[in-house]
Amino acid sequence: MKRQIVLVEDDKTLRESVAELLELNGFEVFTASDGEKGLKLIQNTMPDIVLCDIMMPKLDGYAVLECLLTKPETRGIPFIFLSAKAERIDVRKGMSLGADDYLSKPFQEWELLGAINSRLAKAEILKGPEDLVSSSEKISEEIKNINAFKNYIDDHGLEKKYKFGETIYREGDHANLIYLVKSGVIKTHKLDEKGKELITGIYKPDDFFGFTNFTSIQPYDEFATAIETSVLTTLPQEDYSKILGQNHELSIELLEYLSEHLTDIKRQLIQLAYGTVRQKTASTLLKFADRLQSNDKGNIHVLRSDLASVAGMATETLIRTLSAFKKEGLIAINDREIGILDSSKLKKIAD
């Protein structure tokens, strides 16, 4: 289940940008434009955490916090102040009232997410043992294998649509999420010292990607980009780490799943090192044909640069090899579309 956040901020631009950032990181966000609306929203939704500005119309942030602290049902909700008032006296006042943290604007993405995850972890630790056991048992009953895990992500994750060429994440971004492909195709890729792209993975519907570390948040070491219009569902790292920790059978099955993916990457690296140009081109064509959905003419739409990146060769070299395959009657080329005419011969070349 997604963690819920109430964001109380009178600056519309900042409110919308912070809400979007949090939603992209797997949270469910409710927003209010002033303290009075925010207080009502908090009492109605009972969120996991509150982010609140200080200087606001009708009711300022200090008053919101004081009101929450007077009621037993809202007293324990983690509360973080977001404000441009960064002088020590303001920080001291906010913390002395009972705030859990204080972030001064402008703040960085990692600062905000770090503060939120830290306070949520603290709140989880402070829960009674009975709450933790019942939560653990419930999750274990629901998720026993990868298919159940995928269903859980579908039911509890955040869904987002990406256009062709749109970036999902960049190298160096915090790896807060894992991704499940619902439709479309995604490529992960790296750049070498000369800026040349190497595709490290191709993911089609029902595939996972985005795993980096199961116990802590680490930066992504590659890029992820949609190579056709795609729909993804995401799950926060904190959630999937907890699920795996509570279900050993699922952990083993997921390990096997990821090992198969690593084996594919190993084969690709071996082929990059030892394969001929024709072998690499044939293998890459077959790989994309398996991953991409063909149109009504039986052709696939793929960029030559993407083919070259996976094959590990210059685009010009790949184009010359494709032309040779066309003359041999192995493929048909129509602008950016490629049709496989003789897959058995291409497989022999690739082997």
pLDDT digit string (tens) for 273-300?
A: 555 788 888 988 888 888 777 777 778 8
Strands 208-209 and 158-162: unpaired
d(CA 165, CA 185): 11
CATH homologous superfamily of 4-125 equals: Response regulator (3.40.50.2300)
| Sheet with 186-191, edge to edge strand ranges | 167-169, 223-226, 186-191, 197-203
The CATH number of 133-272, from 3.40.50.12280, 2.40.30.10, 3.30.565.10, 2.60.120.10, is 2.60.120.10
pLDDT of residue 196: 75
Tokens 């003419």, residue? 297
pLDDT digit string (tens) for 31-76?
A: 999 999 999 999 999 999 999 998 888 898 889 999 998 888 888 8
Residue-range domain boundaries for the chain? 4-125, 133-272, 275-350
Here the tokens at position 267 are 């084969």
312 contacts 198 by C-beta, under 8 angstroms: yes
The one-letter amino acid code at 175 reads A
Nearest to 199 by CA among 304, 334, 347, 350: 304
0.85 exceeded by pTM:
no
pLDDT at 245 over 50: yes
Q: Which CATH class is domain 275-350?
A: mainly alpha
pLDDT at 4 over 90: yes
The one-letter amino acid code at 306 reads D
CB proximity list for 196: less than 8 A, separation 6 or greater: 309
